[in-house]
Amino acid sequence: MKKKICIITGSRAEYGLFYPLLKLLRNNRLFKLQLVVTGSHLSREFGLTYREIEQDGFTLSGKVDLKLDSDTPQGVLNSMGLALSGLGKVLTRLKPDAVVILGDRFEIFCAATAAYVNRIPVVHLYGGELSAGAIDEAFRHSITKMSFLHFTATEEYRRRVIQLGEEPKRIFMVGAIGLDNIKKMKLLTRTQLEESLDFSLGDQAVLVTFHPVTLETDSAGAQCAELLRALDQFPDLKIIFTRPNADTNGRVIIKLIEEYVRNNPGRAKSFSSLGQLRYLSSLKQVKAVVGNSSSGIIEAPSLKIPTVNIGDRQKGRIKAQSIIDCRPEEKDIVTALKKAFSPAFQARCRKTVNPYGQGYAADKIMRVLAALNWDKLDLKKSFYDLRGRSVQR
């Protein structure tokens, strides 16, 4: 009998990362794919991106609306309550043999909790990473403790999951799944991309994604304003904005971006969702990716593109030599952009080796899942002591 594998996704970026694994699961005779959407996928403000998933040919097994009408701390807590209750009901109905989740967002923490309470094995992609500026940091490590299987992006992250007490035999280093799409997708040409975006890239363009630093208080607007003032110092620069996730204070950033686009017609354009193909195609065509998104750390180096990484949101992540860290201040951002645009740094980026691997992570994950003895899984994990022995709970 086919084993039911339920993948839960809550954002456009996360779905894009899952895409190669979803295709492999859908076509594998050993598994039945269940796909549940929640979070910003079901929000009109964030583009109703569940429709893109259906357009890609996937059947949705469940939807859990989190009512993302507030990005205050209380609003996020209200959404978490809906996520726990709603995802719990969906999992009770679907009865999957495993739940597969990725990352560290609050709705994914709720997905892990709902599965754990229902005694469903949790398969977690990308534990062991750090993002010291975001509340996601604690969610990620909490998800690790509720997970049965772990797939990490680097060996250092694998060691960190072991440090959290997880047994090495249940942890697999597979590289970053986001690089699979770069390897396997046929990206748009510059002309095709400009037609799709209805936007000219000109002689020099950047892709900007800026999220709130959620462990800081009311810094989102001020930091975004510093970034926008820095971009003003490059009047000939074309700018593609992707709007932030449904994080605390994210709407402050969205408002500033929309005002900037209105004041700079023809020079700047914003999108709630580019989709994976247009996003990666944009990465390939721009001179730099700017902001504080994890894609600037993980995917951009494989396309030999400089990243101007602003502030502390991604603090602690392993970084390629193509990453330029700077403070969220206009002067520092301008200096970093000038460095990124310089011929010397552009040449350096062309020699970059991505520490997150070379792709084909989904194939590696599938091999592990196919080899599991699903009928004899023991969810009573032992705590792995760093001295090299398992300690029974």
User: Domain boundaries in the chain?
Assistant: 3-177+359-379, 186-349
Average pLDDT, the chain: 92
The whole-number average pLDDT for the span 322-326 is 97
SS (H, E, C) 116-162: HHCCCCEEEECCCCCCCCCCHHHHHHHHHHHCCEEEECCHHHHHHHH
Please state the rounded mean pLDDT for residues 149-175. Answer: 96
Give which of 297, 222, 229 is closest to 253, Cα–Cα: 222
pLDDT at 341 (0 to 100): 97
Stated as kind and residue range, the H or E segment containing 208 is: strand 205-209
Q: What is the largest CA-CA distance in the chain?
A: 62
Give 26's pLDDT tier (boundaries 50, 70, 90). Answer: very high
Place of tokens 């400009």: 194
CA distance 119 to 383: 18
Q: What is the mean pLDDT of residues 292-311?
A: 95
Q: How sure is the predictor about 210, in pLDDT bands with cuts at 50, 70 and 90? A: very high
Give the C-alpha separation, 71 to 77, whole Å: 9
pLDDT at 50 over 70: yes
Quick check: do 3-177+359-379 and 186-349 share a fold? yes
Coil/strand/helix, residue 57: coil
Please enumerate, as own/partner, the contacts of 49-55 that have beta carbons within 8 Å and a separation of 24 or more.
Answer: 49/11, 49/12, 49/15, 49/272, 49/273, 52/12, 52/15, 52/273, 52/275, 53/9, 53/15
- Check residue 70 and give its pLDDT: 77
The fold for domain 3-177+359-379 equals Rossmann fold (3.40.50)
Least confident of 56-60, 246-250, 251-255, 338-342: 246-250
Given a cut of 70, whether residue 156 has pLDDT beyond it is yes
Find residue 151's DSSP bridge partners: 125, 172
Check residue 73 and give its pLDDT.
85
Q: Answer whether residue 391 shows pLDDT above 70.
A: no
Q: Show the tokens assigned to 246.
A: 């449904």
pLDDT of residue 71: 76
Q: Which of 29, 48, 30 is nearest to 38 (CA)?
A: 48
Q: Which of 44-53, 83-92, 137-146, 366-375 has the lowest mean pLDDT?
A: 44-53
Inform me whether the pLDDT recorded for 376 exceeds 60: yes
Q: pLDDT grade, residue 212 (50/70/90)?
A: confident
Residue 72 has a pLDDT of 83
Looking at the predicted structure, is the pLDDT value of residue 59 above 60? yes
95: left (phi over 0), alpha (psi -120 to 50) or beta: left
State how far the Cα of 349 lies from the Cα of 201, in Å rounded to an integer.
20
**Whole-Å CA distances, 119 to 33, 91, 96:** 19, 10, 10
- For the ranges 85-94, 169-178, 270-279, 300-309, the lowest mean pLDDT is seen at 270-279
Predicted local distance difference test score (pLDDT) of residue 388: 60
Q: What is the pLDDT of residue 135?
A: 77
**What is the band of 250 on the pLDDT scale with cuts at 50, 70, 90?**
confident
* pLDDT value at 393 more than 60: no
- CATH (one of 3.40.50.1820, 1.20.1740.10, 3.40.50.720, 3.40.50.2000) for 186-349: 3.40.50.2000
Residues 6+ apart with CB under 8 A from 239: 205, 206, 208, 231, 264, 267, 268, 269
Q: Are 102 and 17 in contact, with CB atoms under 8 Å apart?
A: yes
Q: Dihedrals φ, ψ of 271, to 5°?
A: -140, 135
Q: How far are the Cα atoms of 109, 177, 236, 268 from residue 271, in angstroms, in the given order?
A: 27, 24, 20, 10
* pLDDT of 23 above 70: yes
**Model confidence at 377: pLDDT above 70:** yes
Give the pLDDT score at 217. Answer: 61
Q: What is the pLDDT of residue 245?
A: 72
Radius of gyration of the chain (CA): 21
Q: State percent of the chain over pLDDT 70.
A: 95
| pLDDT on residue 214 | 54
What are the angstrom distances between the C-alpha of 276 and each of 170, 247, 283, 365? 30, 21, 10, 20
SS3 content of the chain, % helix, strand, coil (to 5): 45, 15, 40
State the Cα–Cα distance between residues 49 and 6, nearest whole angstrom: 19
What is residue 173's predicted lDDT score, i.e. its pLDDT? 97
Q: Is residue 240 within 8 Å of 190, Cβ to Cβ?
A: no
